[in-house]
Structure 1
Amino acid sequence: MMKWRNLALATAGLAVLAGCTSNPYTGEREAGKAGIYGGIGAVTGAVIGAATSSKKDRGKGALIGAAVGGAAGGGYGYYVDTQEAKLRQTLQGTGVQVQRNGDDLKLIMPGNITFASNSADISSSFYPTLNSLVTVFKEFDKNGVDIVGHTDS
């Protein structure tokens, strides 16, 4: 039993380390979500697999759970990483900034490129940017989008 648990923990640790990358946009060293989510999924899957297996099959259950949980978590992490990269690529040069805070992606759209002062009409020059955002949101349609805005007086 101890051997299987150590194997599952080592697998999870390797998954987390494999996800460590350097952010090409900020230059900071960070862990990619694929590695982090894969590690969390592997550990969670191992615990669930061991807990739901019979006493003699706990090691096997932990190993199967770690594999399934790691694959599912890593897959979602890869999805989030890919979405962030696509947004950054699409919005490059538009004046819109992409900020990542944990699992949240925030798009900062300055008022001078979105609306004219004292106007509720979207600037005609901003429509291409909005259309490219729609394309990315359609491609990555598994995540929710919250829209928050502020007005001038």
Structure 2
Amino acid sequence: MNAKIMTRLAVFAVAGSLLAGCASQQGTNTAVGTGVGAATGAAIGAIFGGGKGAAIGAGAGAAVGGITGYNWQAIHNKLSGATKGTGTQITEQPDGSLKLNIPSSVTFDTNSYAIKPSFAPVLDQLTQTMQQNPELIAQVIGYTDSTGQPAYNQTLSVNRAESVTGYLGQRGVAPQRLSASGMGQNQPVADNNTEAGRAANRRVEIYLRATAQHATQ
């Protein structure tokens, strides 16, 4: 095996270790993640295309790093201030997204998909946060309890999710950054045989994610 091949194999090994490190670190600063991704991409690119390949690989790697190394702390703090006292839970997920679980006491009245006044401050802060962080996209999922017909609950859950994305869109968040879906009475998080359980199941979940397209701009 000649020296050139050995060198490429060594670079590939380093790239692999960098990728592993990047994938295992959650909640670090985006710039750090991007830097590691760029280094990894450059190493892989060098194997296949020399200097030009390294440059291309660095760009692709930076995009990956921007996603896996996103720092949610400042956004978490802002949203926590707007949701204080509402019972909203904000948690970082294993896939790197930030989840807002907003209870029915805040979001919608029974059998309604009109946004309650108590929900508006939460959505206003979310709107501001997304405008200040163009790398973010939001996935909104509506849920109901098991009372009523499944088909009705499914439609209601979709309408509620679309009410949220419609609210955000009307206040300047681009439609391509928003998605809405409903799960109806599926995936309950509590016992539907109790009032407290049904209240917990009537919820809206919003997942915030960072995208490669915006993270590298």
TM over 0.5: yes
State the 1:137 CA deviation.
Answer: 1.6
Distance 2:55 2:13 in 1: 13
State the 1:87 CA deviation.
Answer: 3.4
Deviates more, 1:11-20 or 1:41-50: 11-20
The one-character-per-residue Cα deviations of 1:28-80 (angstroms, maximum 9, x if unpaired) are xx5748567765664454334432x3xxxx4x5565555444444333444xx
Amino acid at match of 2:90: V
Seen in structure 2, the aligned counterparts of structure 1 residues 33 and 10 have a Cα distance that, compared at 3 Å, is farther
- Aligned partner of 1:96 in structure 2 is 88
Is residue 45–residue 65 contact of structure 1 (8 Å, CA) maintained in 2?
yes
Deviates more, 1:119-128 or 1:5-14: 5-14
RMSD: 3.7
Q: Are positions 1:86 and 2:83 aligned together?
A: no
Seen in structure 2, the aligned counterparts of structure 1 residues 75 and 125 have a Cα distance that, compared at 3 Å, is same
- Ranges in structure 1 where 5+ consecutive residues have no aligned partner: 22-29
Distance 2:142 2:22 in 1: 38
Q: Percent identity?
A: 24
Seen in structure 2, the aligned counterparts of structure 1 residues 150 and 73 have a Cα distance that, compared at 3 Å, is closer
- Aligned partner of 2:124 in structure 1 is 131
Q: Are positions 1:46 and 2:37 aligned together?
A: no
- Aligned partner of 1:13 in structure 2 is 17
State the 1:131 CA deviation.
Answer: 0.3
The one-character-per-residue Cα deviations of 1:98-122 (angstroms, maximum 9, x if unpaired) are 3413144332111122123344432
- Aligned partner of 2:133 in structure 1 is 140
State the 1:135 CA deviation.
Answer: 0.8
- TM-score, length basis structure 1: 0.60
Seen in structure 2, the aligned counterparts of structure 1 residues 5 and 95 have a Cα distance that, compared at 3 Å, is farther
- TM-score, length basis structure 2: 0.46
Distance 1:16 1:36 in 2: 12
Q: Are positions 1:3 and 2:7 aligned together?
A: yes
Amino acid at match of 1:74: G
Is residue 39–residue 74 contact of structure 1 (8 Å, CA) maintained in 2?
yes
Is residue 42–residue 68 contact of structure 1 (8 Å, CA) maintained in 2?
no
2:127 is paired with a residue whose SS is helix
